[in-house]
């Protein structure tokens, strides 16, 4: 059996703040979902994903997730004190600000 068949699909609802259900339980689930997505991006697991929200919300989420990946790769390749890592961190911070502004959801990794 493949890992994909064993896992429940991850559903991330970026409209949760508009539905006034933003609470600690959601934040824990959101952080866990993003963590699994990052593992998927780095090839550790395969998991079905569904992201719900407006086009702008999904775009902001994707941008932040990709910047998170880029920062981790830069950190692993160059270390924390390298200018490339600093630049990657700055790009991540901008993407996170955009995500938080667009969704009203706090990015789980700060």
Tokens of 90: 């700055």
More confident residue, 15 or 94: 94
Which residues neighbour 45 within 8 Å (Cβ) at sequence distance 6 or greater?
Answer: 3, 7, 36, 39
What's the whole-model pTM score? 0.69
Q: Above pLDDT 70, what percent of the chain?
A: 81
């Amino acid at each position: 059996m493949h890992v994909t068949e064993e896992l429940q699909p991850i559903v991330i609802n970026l409209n949760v703040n508009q539905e006034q259900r933003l609470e600690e339980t959601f934040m824990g689930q959101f952080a866990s979902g993003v963590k699994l997505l990052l593992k998927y991006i780095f090839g550790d697991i395969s998991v079905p994903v569904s992201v719900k929200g407006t086009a702008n919300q999904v775009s902001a989420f994707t941008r932040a997730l990709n910047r998170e990946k880029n920062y981790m790769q830069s950190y692993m390749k160059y270390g924390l004190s390298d200018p490339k890592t600093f630049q990657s961190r700055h790009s991540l911070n901008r993407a996170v600000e955009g995500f938080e502004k667009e969704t009203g959801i706090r990015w789980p990794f700060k």
